[in-house]
Amino acid sequence: MRVPLRVAGWVPDLGPLRDRRFRLFFTGQAVSALGDALIPVATAFAVLRIARGGFALGAVLATLWVCRALSSPVGGVVADRYDRVRVMLASECARAAAEGFLAVVLLLGHGHLWEFLASVAVYGLASGLFGPASMGFLQKAVAEEHRQVGNAAVAVSQSAIAVVGPALSGVVAALGAYFVVYGADALTFVFSALCLIRLARLVGVGPAGNGDVGEPPAVVQGTPVRRLRDELGQGLQAVRGHSWLWFVFNASAFTNLCIAVYFVLGPIVAKSTLGGVAAWGGIGASAASGALVGSVLALRVRLRSRQIGAYLAMGACVPLPFAALASGKLVLVVVASLLSAASVSFGVVMLDTAVQGSIEPDVIARVDSLDSLTSFLPMPVGLLSAVAVASALGMRSTLVGLACLAAVTNFLPLLSAGVRNLGRSRPER
């Protein structure tokens, strides 16, 4: 299978950054990424310290992803009907409050499991609103010829800032100052909210949240539940019109299932055999570095078929961390994490760009929300079952099985003619 590509000159094409709307969005997301990069390592070891068990960590992470998945369909409907910038602003304010609450709780020396569960529930619900709104905003705010560059630029900024996050979080966690991590994350969401306030003033009010003041989508009559159902049905109809999307959704779902198990088993293996919190922080930093590499590649590489490139990269590299973790060798896990994260970052930019170029603007947020629902719902299953499966099958067998599943999951979409043929055009110049 041939994947024609061209690597653009290494002087970045910063066309989207010339637009003040994109710059404000870009800046806010870059800063909030710094806070988010601190959270995974701190949360893993804070929960393990409080509850001393992998199931409790799985429950916290499962709560996050269940809430995010379930709120995404509502977020898609709201983002397609109302102003997308203000939807994102509401989400950032809610996440700032959730992280600020946990920072205060930990500062006061409490830190019970239910407080983590409450905080991540609010965080997850708010994240489900943000994702579809941001997808639709970028589709409308960035010209088609610059869309891949715009998606990649956001990914590059977040990855570059996140490189130091896990390692720094590991140091803070080792000192037991978890409240610093959550307080910092809350402040980054406040900064992002301020950027969105300026953006809202700049673009005005409109259903697209990008300065296009016009008529919103036709109002669906009936009760709120019926309206939600019917408007989600319109998004589902759009997905049916692009059947290749089901392959994308299912590949994301099974990949996320594997990654969810890794989120639980990884810290446990790190604590028992790899060196503890410092080792897990180093693995996270390596993954962040890999995400930066993948984002930079997505910024510069032009493919005739973005889907083929995405799934070849992810099929080859996503399984690597599971196999490396099964080996029990830290250096292999670090290298594998870098390669895997690079492939995912590159693939996500390619696939997002393909979706934005294929779906109508008035339903893009609902399509993205259905993607989120399908992709995120398997994660709680993996998070809650990880310890039980590893206990029944053995840690090594579980990790090897996950590596095989991740490979099959990401190569399988290449059997679809729709995936292979979509977006076959000349590389952008």
Q: How far apart are CA 104 and CA 54, in angstroms?
A: 25
**Predicted pLDDT of residue 162:** 64
Q: Which tens digit of pLDDT belongs to each residue from 197-224?
A: 888 887 654 444 444 433 444 444 555 6
67 neighbors 125 (Cβ within 8 angstroms): yes
Position 413 pLDDT exceeds 90: no
Main-chain phi, psi angles of 221, to 5 degrees: -85, 160
**Predicted pLDDT of residue 405:** 92
Question: Which of 69-83, 117-131, 352-366 tops mean pLDDT?
Answer: 117-131
* Residue of 14, 63, 64, 55 lying closest to 36 (CA atoms): 64
- Map residue 357 onto helix, strand or coil: helix
4 neighbors 304 (Cβ within 8 angstroms): yes
Please report where in the chains the tokens 């604590």 appear, as a residue: 271
**Predicted pLDDT of residue 222:** 55
Q: How far apart are CA 21 and CA 210, in angstroms?
A: 8
* Residue of 133, 415, 351, 363 lying closest to 241 (CA atoms): 363
Lowest mean pLDDT among 1-10, 36-45, 104-113, 259-268: 1-10
Share the mean pLDDT of the chain.
Answer: 78
Percent of the residues in the chain that have a pLDDT greater than 70, as a whole number:
82
Position 63 pLDDT exceeds 80: yes
Angle at 377 between CA 375 and CA 383, to 5 degrees: 110
Position 336 pLDDT exceeds 80: yes
Position 13 pLDDT exceeds 60: no
- Domains of the chain plus CATH, in order, are 14-213+220-421 (1.20.1250.20)
Which alpha helices (DSSP H) does 304-394 contain, by range?
Answer: 306-317, 320-327, 330-358, 364-376, 378-393
- Pair type for strands 5-7 and 301-303: antiparallel
pTM for this entry: 0.70
Q: Which tens digit of pLDDT belongs to each residue from 49-62?
A: 777 666 777 788 77
Position 1 pLDDT exceeds 50: no
**Predicted pLDDT of residue 3:** 47
**Exposure of 197 by Cβ count < 10 A (0-12 exposed, 13-18 middle, 19+ buried)?**
middle
Position 382 pLDDT exceeds 60: yes
Lowest mean pLDDT among 58-72, 85-99, 200-214: 200-214
**Predicted pLDDT of residue 318:** 92
Position 185 pLDDT exceeds 50: yes
